[in-house]
Structure 1
Amino acid sequence: MSPKKNVKLVPTGKKSVLPLEVKIEMLDRLRLGESFASISRSFNLNESTVRSIKKSENKIRSSVASTSLSAKIVRNPAIEKMEVALSLWIEDCNQKRVPLSGPMVREKAKRLYAYFKEIGGGECTDGGFQASEDTAAAERYPKEFANLVANGGYKPEQVFNADETSLFWKRLPTVLEEIAKQNIYF
């Protein structure tokens, strides 16, 4: 048998997650032409870390638009929505005195996650409205409206009085509220 090597296990540095603000600063400096090595030295990081941040530049810049700069990790929106819905479901079951178990909660969480993942986790785009927008007509309308008011002989009280439009609301009876609470579609 060969002799065993004396291997000293030296603990590596603790993994630290950089805030998005620092990553954006690195990416901006890279765009200005600064080298990977100089940036890694100034932030006391490995050069490979800076390169991996550069590799995921699009993902980082898009996540900055939806979260705060001080955030370190961007969470999946489907998971966040699932957590809120699961919390509401558990609270509802507790009020109805329905006994819950770990597997029941886990199964409900899986179904909610699949549902929110399928509908996209609530990410919205304005792509559906692009075909129907008419910016030229929208720009012309304020002038046309002013002409209508002036030529029609309307008073400002008639134009801007919301009391006459019947915009009233009435509170639903409590019976309907209870029925609406029972039919939660998650």
Structure 2
Amino acid sequence: MAPKRKSTSTGSASKPKRSREVLPISEKVKILDMIEKEKKSYAEIARLYGKNESSIREVMKHRDKIRASFSVAPQTAKVTSTVRDKVLVKVEKALNLWVEDMSRKRMPIDGNMLRQKALTLYEDFQKKDKTKDESKPFTASRGWLHRFRNRFNLKNRKITRDTSSGDEEAAAMFMTDLKKVIEEGGYHPKQVFNCDETGLFWKKMPNRTYIHKTAKQAPGFKSWKDRLTLVLCGNAAGHMIKPGVVYQMKTPHALKHKNKNYLPVFWQHNLKAWVTAVLFTEWFHECFIPEVKKYLEKEGLPFKVLLIIDNSPGHPESIAIEDPNVQVLFLPPNTTSLLQPLSQGIIRCIKAIYTRQVFEMIQAAIDANPNIEIMDCWKSFSIADAITSSKV
């Protein structure tokens, strides 16, 4: 077997390796100018830049794409990317300034607000832009939002919440009993109702906002403690009756000289804005029964109702015998987080919708008058505004 020949490196040592450095887009544009304007040959330019002739031909092959990218890309960019919508570029710059302005004014921002504002800005800029763009319409998708956050170094602060525990064994037994009660009573889903109360800080600020990654923390703001209690009630078919509101004053200034019977909520008052046994009984007779009767009559069903409530102090046991057509079922202790239907995301959605509607109104006021801040808007925001936004 012949011995292996030793490789000679003299030839390769005498010729230095060609540089594989990627040319910036600005240099590629210069190459195009040399070819098109100065009429230089590919070989001459290749020797000038120390490149293969094929590399120069490749630059010429993609001349349209390179020139288009050069108009929007930085001078030092080395990768030719897809040309972005010029209007969208302007929109994102304006949106970034808007985020900084909202942060300065301590206005919390979420993803939906960013996307909606982007759509509004895009429409405004597109009206001013005379060039026609035949690309796909801008929809402010979640993917665009993700890329926008990365391009402008935005981050989202989130405050975690404690999770509640419940008696799973008692909850399982109750579900068996509930199924038996519904079958024996012949209740239609539209006749099975659940009622629950929740506190609403109607001037509460959101606990998250978009800020730049360079910022250490989100700007602070004054904590408002104005609270009311919402009494929510709905059936298994998804229908919600008129909500109840318990406030600390019988007639606040914003409701003076107004007939509370025409409010979109059932108005009650208590010094601490809590639901007591007396208030709950009053709500049962003057709101729940009339509302449910009207609803079932409209649906063509008899007034025969199953009402599921928890065993809080504000729900007296005597409520079970207040009306012969209403069967009241109390949840076992420590099972509300597991069994209460309204606590399985419905209350959270109602509060989220309330917050969104309130801050859309505040955002519109700030956009209309750049000199005001969010605290100025809060001062003029009354309990009447909160009631209007709490409709379900």
TM bracket (short chain)? 0.3 to 0.5
Q: Pick the structure with greater CA Rg.
A: 2
Q: Specify which structure has the higher proportion of helix.
A: 1
Q: TM-score, normalised by structure 2?
A: 0.22
Q: Specify which structure has the higher proportion of strand.
A: 2
Q: TM-score, normalised by structure 1?
A: 0.42
